[in-house]
Chain A
Amino acid sequence: MCGAPPAGLSLEGIDVSKETVIQGVVILDGQPVPSAYVRLLDGSGEFTAEVVSSASGQFRFFARPGDWTLRALSSKGTGEVRVHAQQGTPVETEVAISH
């Protein structure tokens, strides 16, 4: 898929023009972290969704345009990152966790 970062989840089958996609990978010391719990929090910090990162550390949300916080929780540590999402242009991000 032209233009997609190599680490990104495939967007095949998703109507990107209609969705506000936030996706990325959980990393620790540069390595992907599988089975991490990734939470999507809204602008007021309220829980909106949670997914488990894949075997390659990847996750995806379908949100709405605006500011969001991603918080990852795993037995190896926790991490947090803020992103700005917009419809039609998927956000690709990394959530780095530390002990």
Chain B
Amino acid sequence: MSRSDVLVDADWAEAHLDDPKVVFVEVDEDVSAYDKGHIRGAVRLDWKSELQDQVKRDFVDKASFEGLMSAKGISSDDTIVLYGGNNNWFAAYAYWYFKLYGHRDVRLLDGGRKKWELDSREQTEAVTPRPATSYTASGPRTDIRAFRDEVVAAIGTQNLVDVRSPDEFSGRLLAPAHLPQEQSQRAGHVPTARNIPWSKTAADDGTFRGDDALRKLYEGEGVDLSRDTIAYCRIGERSAHTWFVLHELLDLPNVKNYDGSWTEYGSLVGVPIEKDV
């Protein structure tokens, strides 16, 4: 897998706006961002109301995912180009989610919505309707998703990469600083985890750093890239961004995203926590 198979730049995107087999999909934390302007022809995907089970904490099941994709007019053989705000956090989460359900050709738009806006590229408020399809999914894969027991078992035996900000890692903050801090879970991090914030993998405009710089970043922080790795953050979206870096850009085989992340781990009874403050 080469970088161009998983990541496209804005020029590539502009050149494929009218390609019938390329579907642009916007995924934002702020789901109203799409209404204020989006890439022409792009479909909106709501990470919360559409990708999450609305009763228990989990993803929608395969049949529901197939129904969602069919209703959005996405086919199994389409090339999906994901982009969004927050430096592509939620777009990367959706990328990982599409891979979980076996979509073959998914790519991220490098820099996402921010780079597109900073370049003053064309946006529209118009929604382009897409005829319904009959989408077929596979999976869900379990080789790229970590669950809580695996995380506990990974302490001291696998790479644990905590991609939150240093203040969240140390326990001084409980959530990213654009959200209120009052939370029910305990503060801190999983013992033996290395703190390598997602932001170190990207430039200010949200585009990913080169492969050599990325590899040096993790090795410089003492991560043995020959070992299995679990990435986590607070709810699994920033760690999906790092999963993308490790599994897709650096092509490392055994990397999982722990989407339960700190909101689950920090609420578990009896598990070890390290805290710096």
On A, residues with C-beta under 8 Å from B are 14-15, 18-20, 35, 37, 39-40, 42, 44, 46-52, 60-64, 73-75
Residue from A40, A50, A73 having most chain B Cβ neighbours under 10 A: A50
* Interface: B181 (CB within 8 A): yes
Is the Cβ of B180 less than 8 Å from the Cβ of A14? yes
Distance between A19 CB and nearest chain B CB, rounded to angstroms: 6
Q: What 0/1 readout, one digit per residue, does chain B (199-225) give for beta carbons within 8 Å of chain A?
A: 100001100000000000000000000
Once bound together, how far apart are the Cα atoms of A64 and B277, in whole Å?
13
Taking residues whose C-beta sits less than 8 angstroms from the other chain, chain B's interface range is 20 to 34
Instruction: Tell me whether A50 and B178 are in contact in the complex, defined as CB-CB below 8 angstroms, given that A37-B114, A42-B165 are known contacts.
Output: yes
How far in angstroms is the closest Cβ of chain A from B221? Answer: 13
- In angstroms, Cα B177 to Cα A76, docked, is 25
Contact of B118 among A46, A49, A63, A74 (CB under 8 A): A74
Most B CB atoms within 10 A — which of A15, A47, A61, A73? A47
Sample of 25 A–B contacts (CB below 8 Å): A14-B180, A18-B181, A18-B182, A19-B180, A19-B182, A39-B204, A44-B166, A46-B197, A47-B197, A47-B199, A48-B165, A48-B166, A48-B176, A48-B177, A50-B86, A50-B87, A51-B178, A52-B30, A52-B33, A62-B180, A63-B173, A64-B172, A73-B204, A75-B118, A75-B120
Set A20, A47, A62, A73: member contacting B165, Cβ < 8 A: A47
CB–CB B182/A52 < 8 A: no
Main secondary structure on A side of the interface with B = strand
Instruction: State whether the Cβ of B167 lies closer than 8 Å to any Cβ in chain A.
Output: yes
- Given contacts A18-B182, A62-B175, A63-B177, whether A46 and B204 have CB atoms under 8 Å apart is no
**A12-B119 Cα distance, complex, nearest whole Å:** 35
A14 contacts across to B, CB distance below 8 A: 180
Q: A62 to B86, Cβ gap below 8 A?
A: no
Say yes or no: A42 contacts B182, CB within 8 Å: no
